[in-house]
C-alpha cells in the first residue's frame, strides 16, 4: 500500500499562493501518492522561532506534531518551513521520539520527489530561460544542493528535476546561491539591506538572461516578485511546482 502523505501547505502559501499548494498536490498525485490535507494545520511557528520567541513558537510546534504525526510522510512546497520542522523543532521541544519520527519524515517537495520517490525521468516542456534561485534554508539546512562555499561534487535536486524539461534553458548566474534578503522579519527590520540584496539578485538573473526566476521557497520568491513588480521589471517569478505540475514524473 502506498504511504499516506500529509500535505503541509505553509500558512502564507495557503493564503497568498494557493496555486503553489495546488501544483504540489497535482505533482504528488501524478506520481501516485495518496495525499491528505489535514484541515487543522496553520503555521509551523517559524516566524516566532526566528524572532527568538520560543514560548510563542512552541505551541505551534506541538500542534504540528499532533496534526502530522499520523502520516507516513509529510511534504511541503517550502524548504524553509521544512527546515524548521526537521532541524529547529528540537530547539523548542527537546529530543522526543514523536518529534524524531515526524522530523525525519518531513520533506520539501523536490527533496521528496528525488530522495523518497526516486524520480529519475521528467517528461514535459518549458520553453523559457530560467534562473534558479537557490533559497538558503533549502540549500544550507536541507542540503537540496551543494552550496558554493563547500568543496565537493556539485549536485542540486531542484535543478535535477528542471533540467530534463524540453526547451528549458537554465541560465548561469554570477553568484550561484547568494541570499535574496528575504529572511522573514529581516525583510522588514532591515528593509534597506533586504531590498538591496533582492535587487542585486534580480539584476544577476536578468544579466544572465533569465525570463523566469524559479525556486523551492515561496517566501524568497514573494520578496523578489514584490521588488520586480514594483519596479516594472519584466522577469517572471514562479515556484518550481508551477513549472513541474504539467510534466510527467517517474
Partner 1 sequence: MSAGLPVPPGQHARAAARFVANEVRAHRHDAAGWHLRSNRDRGAGSVPEWEALREAASAIKAHTLSRLADYLEEFERNARQNGIQVHWARDGAEHNAIVHGILAGHGVARVVKSKSMLTEECGLNPYLEARGVEVTDTDLGERIVQLLGEPPSHIVVPAIHRTKEEIGELFQRRLGTPAGLTDPTRLTEAARHHLRQKFLSAQAGITGVNFAIAETGGVVVVTNEGNADMGTSLPPLHVACMGVEKVIPRARDLGVLLRVLARSATGQPCSVYATHFHGPLRGGEMHVVVVDNGRSAILARDAFRRSLSCIRCGACLNTCPVYRRSGGYSYGATIPGPIGSVLSALRDPRAHADLPFASSLCGSCSDVCPVRIDLHHELLAFRRELSGRGLVPLGKRLTMKLLSLVMRSPRLYALAGRAARFLLRRAPWALRLGPGAAWARQRALPSGPAASFRELWDRQASAEKGGLP
Tell me which residues in 186-245 interact with partner 1 (CB under 8 A).
186-198, 200, 222-223, 225-227, 229-230
Cα separation of 93 and 54, whole Å?
Answer: 10
Cα separation of 54 and 70, whole Å?
Answer: 25
Site for partner 1 in 92-131 (CB under 8 A): none
Identify which of residues 43 and 169 has a Cβ nearer to partner 1 in the complex.
43
**C-alpha angle 208/211/214, rounded to 5°?**
90
Site for partner 1 in 13-52 (CB under 8 A): 13-19, 21-22, 37, 39-43, 45, 47-48, 50-52
| Shortest Å, Cβ 228 to partner 1 | 8
- Helices 97-104 and 54-68 meet at what angle, rounded to 10? 70
Please say whether the beta carbons of 78 and 23 come within 8 A.
no
| Shortest Å, Cβ 188 to partner 1 | 4
Instruction: Pick one of 5, 9, 81, 144: the residue that binds partner 1 (CB under 8 A).
Output: 9
Report the b/e string of 45-61 with b at 16+ CB within 10 A: bbbbbbeeeeeebbebb
DSSP tag of 163: T
- Judged on CB neighbours under 10 Å (0-12, 13-18, 19+), 71 is buried
| Shortest Å, Cβ 172 to partner 1 | 15
Cα separation of 122 and 143, whole Å?
Answer: 21
Q: Does 68 bind partner 1 (CB under 8 A)?
A: no
Identify which of residues 1 and 55 has a Cβ nearer to partner 1 in the complex.
55
| Shortest Å, Cβ 138 to partner 1 | 11
| Shortest Å, Cβ 248 to partner 1 | 22
Site for partner 1 in 135-194 (CB under 8 A): 136-137, 139-141, 147-152, 175, 178-179, 181-194
Amino acid at each position: 500500500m502506498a504511504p499516506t502523505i500529509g500535505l503541509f501547505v505553509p500558512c502564507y502559501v495557503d493564503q497568498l499562493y494557493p496555486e503553489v499548494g495546488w501544483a504540489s498536490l497535482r505533482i504528488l498525485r501524478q506520481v501516485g501518492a495518496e495525499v491528505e490535507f489535514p484541515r487543522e494545520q496553520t503555521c509551523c511557528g517559524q516566524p516566532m522561532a526566528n524572532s527568538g520567541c520560543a514560548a510563542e513558537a512552541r505551541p505551534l510546534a506541538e500542534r504540528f506534531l499532533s496534526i502530522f504525526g499520523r502520516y507516513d510522510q509529510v511534504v511541503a512546497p517550502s524548504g524553509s518551513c521544512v527546515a524548521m520542522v526537521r532541524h529547529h523543532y528540537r530547539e523548542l521541544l527537546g529530543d522526543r521520539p514523536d518529534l524524531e519520527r515526524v522530523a525525519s519524515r518531513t520533506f520539501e517537495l523536490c527533496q521528496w520527489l528525488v530522495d523518497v520517490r526516486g524520480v529519475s525521468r521528467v517528461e514535459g516542456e518549458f520553453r523559457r530561460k530560467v534562473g534558479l534561485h537557490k533559497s538558503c534554508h533549502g540549500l544550507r539546512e536541507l542540503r537540496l544542493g551543494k552550496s558554493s562555499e563547500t568543496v565537493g561534487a556539485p549536485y542540486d535536486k531542484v535543478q535535477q528535476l528542471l533540467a530534463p524539461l524540453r526547451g528549458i534553458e537554465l541560465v548561469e548566474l554570477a553568484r550561484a546561491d547568494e541570499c535574496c534578503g528575504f529572511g522573514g522579519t529581516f525583510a522588514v527590520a532591515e528593509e534597506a539591506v533586504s531590498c538591496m540584496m533582492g535587487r542585486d539578485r534580480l539584476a544577476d538573473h536578468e544579466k544572465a538572461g533569465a525570463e523566469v526566476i524559479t525556486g523551492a521557497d515561496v517566501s524568497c520568491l514573494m520578496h523578489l516578485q514584490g521588488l520586480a513588480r514594483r519596479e516594472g521589471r519584466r522577469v517572471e517569478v514562479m515556484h518550481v511546482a508551477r513549472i513541474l505540475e504539467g510534466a510527467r514524473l517517474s
